[in-house]
Amino acid sequence: MPLNIPHNLPAVEILKQENIFVMDVLRASKQDIRPLKVALLNLMPIKITTETDFVRLLSNSPLQVEVDFIKMKDHRSKNTSPEHLATFYKNFEDIRKDNYDGMIITGAPVELLEFEDVTYWTALQEIFNWAAKHVTSTIYICWAAQAGLYHFYNIPKYPLEKKTFGVFKHKINDASVALTRGFDDEFYIPHSRHTEIRKEDISKAPALKLISESEESGVHIVMARGGREIFITGHSEYAPDTLHNEYMRDLNKGLSIDMPVNYYKENNPEKGISVKWRSHAHLLFKNWLNYYVYQATPFDPKEIEYLDDLKE
């Protein structure tokens, strides 16, 4: 089944040009099937780009998925129009009483701040706690992964001397985990961050399992509660030109930035981009939807809250 999203979402036309099939809500409503409900809390400044990145991956599944886009109520977006937000986004208060099969919480450009100094930190903690009881499986991406690990398991983040920026080789630590089923022994993932979480801290937390890591970029995937929480430090969802756009942006600002590692053909921006992560990105989200959302979710979404196993 294709993805079930509003027919006028900008991502629809972009994905049609990429030959990706999406289904609008009018057509999907005629099918006698309950779609999986996935919430996407979008903390990124350029929301349309992030929407497209995740819709692209969620659409590559035989399962029908209905996506609700969520924003922080009191955070004003400088890069996305109020009209777009009003048309396509809900506030957390709008979904507080609902249950979801899956949830994705994106990164945010606030990683150099202490968590408590982020203006919406308290509100975000409330969403984290809500997701633990109302969502079957939640993926936390990049800064959100660091934030979630800090909030739930007191795992600190550390500033890096130099930005981790590029496409890095990774390995799987446990081949029996369904999330990475079908992955090659070595695979590539983009990273773009100024901070890190460390393996030694993860290993001290009995509730956490390190699924994937890289010799160059460190911790990649951490899992907790049997996959109800999945923390991913990299950006599998990135489009081919995302790192290039970040690189050009920083160069134009006169910032000190190294060329993204293992990204351009022959390390020459004029020769184009070598895309090495696309197939594993699709497989990662397909596995998540299948094994951790579809096969784990109750038939009645109202039963999700009874699956919670957090200590009160």
Which residues have a Cβ under 8 Å from the Cβ of 141 and sit 6 or more positions away? 104, 105, 106, 107, 232, 235, 237
Tokens 């890095």 identify what position? 168
What is the set of active-site residues? Answer: 142, 235, 237
